[in-house]
Amino acid sequence: MYFEVNSATSRVISLSPAITTPYKLGELISSFGIPTHISASLVDNNNKVPSIDFMWLQKGFVISKISKIGSPIPDLSAELLLGGIEGGPFFVTPTKLEDIGLWTRMSPKAFVPWQGYKDFYFYCRDYTQNYAPCVRPKG
């Protein structure tokens, strides 16, 4: 079990059980309902490593897709595998988007309301450009 503590308040702000099995996004939606928000970005702009976090804000639940250098842009479908060794799940205490900074260094601007199965670039935000939509590559 991994946990994170807010150093200013000494409160536990996230828990992550040691679950190594990935989950399909469709299975999570069947169990928890649709996610409230998604954060998609290209970490390390030189290598364009896709990163995705799905959040069920009122439930305090987050699960991620961790990619490596050279990974293709993932297809956001019911079959998308999430979690595993590094991707969670995480149980977090913030239940309001404006409090998300208690758990992550990302701005609330990084989280886009879930609008169904769209492509990665629909949700992608460029944190180096004040969270403007990512530029879709030509071709």
pLDDT digits (tens, 9 = 90+) for 21-79: 788 999 999 998 999 999 999 887 566 788 898 988 888 788 888 788 888 899 999 99
DSSP class of residue 7 equals T
Distance CA 137, CA 85 (A): 30
DSSP class of residue 66 equals -
E strand map for 57-135: 61-65, 81-83, 90-92, 112-113, 125-126, 132-133
The structure's pTM equals: 0.79
Contacts of 9 by beta carbon, 8 Å cutoff, 6+ apart: none
Per residue in 89-139, pLDDT (tens digit) is 666 666 667 766 655 667 788 889 999 999 999 999 998 888 899 988 886
